Amino acid sequence: MKILLAALALSAAGGACALDIHLPPETATYKPSELPGYQLVLRNCMTCHAAQYASTQPPASPRAYWEATVKKMKKPFGAQFDDADVPAMVDYLVKTYGAERGAAMPVAAVAKPVAAAVPATGGKDVKTLLAANGCMACHALDQKVVGPGFAEVAARYKGKDGIAAVAANIRSGGAGKWGPVPMPPFSQLSEADAATLAKYVLNR
């Protein structure tokens, strides 16, 4: 009887279907500020994680804490930003979320800060697009980094509608297709530039 029950349980488990999970789009944003580090944080941090990361850190955390946190993102986690950007990013974070809050007043309102973080490229070549939008901070050609490798994306979207699908995903962002880490939207890209990037990805 026990053997029969075990066989039935294994059969039921083997017939289970994989769930297709769709997470809601990312809506959190970093607090707007006139500090130079604000734009750097938008460009460098939203690539890999949500803005809630900063707001959930201890509010009394000192400058040294934020400096260690930012440097940790570069090594060992591999975030691709210049060492020269670190002081300004730390200054924004500690004055906006840490122990030095109130040292700099945030801007009252900045419309769509994420979209403004990277300027539109206006039909530039694919290498310029990859660099300007920080694509290689989260992707590699043939292996997973933060997001999937381009070869894996190409395998999934192989077909006549692949370019349109990948281009739409680049512009709209999202989460749940490749794992829990959300990809921020790159809505500032024109449809032509998004298609250029999509063609490059699908030709890997």
**Mean of pLDDT values over 23-35:** 74
Amino acid at 88: A
Report in angstroms the alpha-carbon separations of 16 from 13, 25, 131, 177, 179. 5, 28, 42, 19, 20
Whole-number Å distance between alpha carbons of 149 and 153: 7
Would you say residue 127 has pLDDT above 50? yes
Burial class from Cβ neighbours inside 10 Å (0-12, 13-18, 19+) for residue 74 reads middle
Encode pLDDT of 55-81 as tens digits: 888 888 889 988 988 888 888 777 888
